[in-house]
Structure 1
């Protein structure tokens, strides 16, 4: 067999192996879906909101490190924030944690998972944890320390009216008889959900938000603190295609 013929066989095999995440040359990938469920007690009974999001984890080997990037693990969270209608036209949103490790790290991993020590043993542990989570089908309570940011809007059509909600005191925002009962996280085979945020917020919501943000920044005094609404971003609500 000629060298050219051998290369024609070997190269596609190598590329296929790399893309499939089989671990060849130290590259690995894992994928799973997580379902966030918010349960709120109201004077009219329990209200439940859910969202199924997708998680991807990637490992690149130490030799693939370029400058400050690569050579370790990275992750992505795609989907939309869970939302529950707690009263007529009053909604509670549990924002995505795209700026942080996914909440699942504190729910489905041992505490040592917060360590980012790039040792061979730690690599082996993270691979094993990812293998276990990927095949897991279980629901657990999210601890208060890992709660997502909770947000509501005084006027749903006005992005500038976004307010942060204290998970321990929903009554201060919605009135007597409102209480956050639980926020749960499940590793699930259910497909990623989409469209609920668009349905609740309406078309053009984030375009309006962007226009309000730009106007606020333009008119703000130097070093002034941004209003809460403009410390948020679209990716806190919807991330990924």
Structure 2
């Protein structure tokens, strides 16, 4: 919600799930629950000219898995995951995420300066953007639409340069353990497919 009314944005990402072979056992798991991955780009919402809110791809395919599996699903054996994945594959629906499952929300004080990235509190958008800004909901939907491409590139013209050099938004490389957001967010949080 903005002072001018409701604004929405979306992005289609591709989630995939791979199961370890049954011969790869850890305890009684029979191959384990598997691993999920995402391909696509962050959600970009232009709140007003040159002021954007980004919902980063810092979540995993597990977020979607548990959103659609529901609160009654209990992680268990390999066959439990296989059965639930088959049920989820038939769903064409949306789910509202609980705030604890929200992706990291960020903005930039200067959209042309990667190091000006700033965390946005989903429960208090007004503290970042001003009076009248509020987050209504974050939803996930299962769709057959193609993966969204180009929206992030259109806003963050510098992103592919950072991606090709494997830079954090601070301009640094490699793992950095401090609490500065620009040192811990990289281009892959905005877009995890290749740049052209």
TM-score category, normalised to shorter length: 0.7 to 0.9
Q: Which residue of 2 aligns with 1:230?
A: 183
What TM-score results when the alignment is normalised by the length of structure 2? 0.84
Q: Deviations over 1:42-74 (max 9, x none)?
A: 1111111110000111112231369xxx93211
* Residue 96 of structure 1, aligned match among 45, 57, 77: 57
SS at match of 2:23: helix
Alpha-carbon distance, 1:192 to partner: 1.1
Alignment size in residue pairs = 186
1:207/1:140 Cα in 2 relative to 1: closer, same or farther (>3 Å)?
same
CA–CA separation in structure 2 for the residues paired with 1:224 and 1:56: 29
Alpha carbons 2:112, 2:156 under 8 Å: kept = yes
What TM-score results when the alignment is normalised by the length of structure 1? 0.69
Which protein shows a greater Rg? 1
Alpha-carbon distance, 1:199 to partner: 0.6
Q: Which residue of 2 aligns with 1:81?
A: 42
Alpha-carbon distance, 1:168 to partner: 0.6
SS at match of 1:163: strand
Q: Which residue of 2 aligns with 1:156?
A: 111
2:165 pairs with 1:205: no
Alpha-carbon distance, 1:229 to partner: 1.2
Alpha carbons 2:16, 2:61 under 8 Å: kept = no
Q: Any gaps of 5 or more consecutive residues in structure 2? A: none
CA–CA separation in structure 1 for the residues paired with 2:127 and 2:41: 26
**1:128-147 counterparts in 2 under 5 A?**
128-147=83-102
Alpha-carbon distance, 1:135 to partner: 1.5
**Higher strand proportion, which one?**
1
Deviates more, 1:143-152 or 1:231-240: 231-240
1:161/1:113 Cα in 2 relative to 1: closer, same or farther (>3 Å)?
farther
Q: Any gaps of 5 or more consecutive residues in structure 1? A: 1-40, 218-222
